[in-house]
Amino acid sequence: MDPVRNPFAPGAGSQPPELAGREGLIEQANFAIQRLMHGRHDKAQILLGLRGTGKTVLLNKFEHLAHTHGCDTTFIEAPEDRSLASLLVPRLQKVLRALSTVEAAKALAHRALGALKSFAKTFKISYEGVTISVDPAVGIADSGDLESDLTDLFLAVGAAAQPAGRAWVLFIDELQYLERIELSALIVAIHRIVQKGYPVMFFGAGLPQIAALSGEAKSYSERLFDYPPIGALSEDAAAKAIRDPIREEGEDINAAALAHIFKMTSGYPYFLQEWGYQCWNLAERSPMDELIAKTATERAIARLDNGFFRVRLERLTPKEKEYVIAMANLGSGPYRSADVADHLGVEPTSLGPRRAQIIKKGMIYSPSHGDIAFTVPLFEDFLMRQYALSPKG
């Protein structure tokens, strides 16, 4: 098959050719954005899921919908080494400059730019290539308290967007990397925006622990956000995600091949894209059969082991690697923290700091009290291959 026509492009956040199994979420987001443009609020959404489930893909799709409906948007990927404030300032400056070109909103947009300049000065944010050519606003977003000042800033943006007949939609990916004070401030600001009825909306995405972290930050967050789980696809949806793009290129794949791919990927979207990509490049003719799918499995696993999985493993220190290897040695998760400690021959309390660091790096999470699990699907299988483990479970 011509590799140039290969419809699959596995990558971090790469838009797959077919968003199978996510139609309801997309429809709900589209509905919420349209309501926002008509001055009506819907619940903000935080997508929860493991790595490779397509959360970033969905956020990108939602942003596209927001653009389609005429919204101004800001998309942020929260890193581990920069503050939320430093990421927001240059992006909000662009939004407010755009609003300042609308005559009805000009005065309020300039006021918001002044608030933004105060905010940047207060939190000592320096950024190159951006000039806010207004005086800092006095008494707005300049207290030094992030909850108060971020709320002031969001209210100023919302106040400017309203007379302009525009809406601002904020997207933040990898929410688990926000500091607790940042997450709390974000929740407070969004809560206040909803109370005021301003045309501002939020969509976020993160690992499963974000729901608990949000609740710990502000108890009312469970009423402020919906937390749709983004998991593996059903067998029918997985088949559609592989089959339909192939058929759109005038080729086909048989049921046995699709069944093998689902068995090997467990329906996780990123892995489906990898298997589809390999199947296409290996096939000499259509329809692709089970033999092609099995050969694709060998190639896909080799590529995942050398990239997707290995990159994540190498972020860990030797002691942290020892911990996750012990997890894999116990079989399939979730795992009891006490069992990991027992396997390593140490007291559970002594492993607390190490476990916390691995959680902070986004490699594991706690699905329930006393339990831990990998955030990367099939990661225990990789560790078993890598270290020739013979799991107990």
pLDDT tens digit sequence for 199-219: 999 999 999 988 887 887 777
- Amino acid identity at 162: Q
The CA-CA-CA angle for residues 94, 99, 103, to 5°, reads: 145
- Mean pLDDT, rounded, for 176-189: 93
Pairwise CA distance, residues 141 & 57, whole Å? 33
pLDDT at 216: 78
- Mean pLDDT, rounded, for 188-206: 95
Residue 97, token pair as written in the block:
């400059």
- Mean pLDDT, rounded, for 254-265: 97
Residue 279, token pair as written in the block:
């199947």
Cβ within 8 Å of residue 248, ≥6 positions away: 7, 17
Nearest to 112 by CA among 201, 224, 200, 204: 200
The answer to whether residues 291 and 22 touch, using CB atoms and an 8 Å cutoff, is no
- For the cut 90, the answer to whether the pLDDT of residue 146 exceeds it is yes
- For the cut 90, the answer to whether the pLDDT of residue 306 exceeds it is yes
- Amino acid identity at 289: D
The better pLDDT of the pair 136, 229 is held by 229
pTM score, whole prediction? 0.90
pLDDT in tens, 35-92: 999 988 888 899 999 998 999 999 999 999 999 999 999 999 998 788 999 999 999 9
The answer to whether residues 75 and 59 touch, using CB atoms and an 8 Å cutoff, is yes
Helix (H, G, I), strand (E, B) or coil at 198: coil
Averaged confidence pLDDT in the chain: 92
pLDDT in tens, 100-141: 999 999 999 999 999 999 999 999 887 655 566 677 888 899
Cβ within 8 Å of residue 129, ≥6 positions away: none
- For the cut 70, the answer to whether the pLDDT of residue 340 exceeds it is yes
- Angle formed by the axes of helices 210-217 and 180-196, to 10°? 70
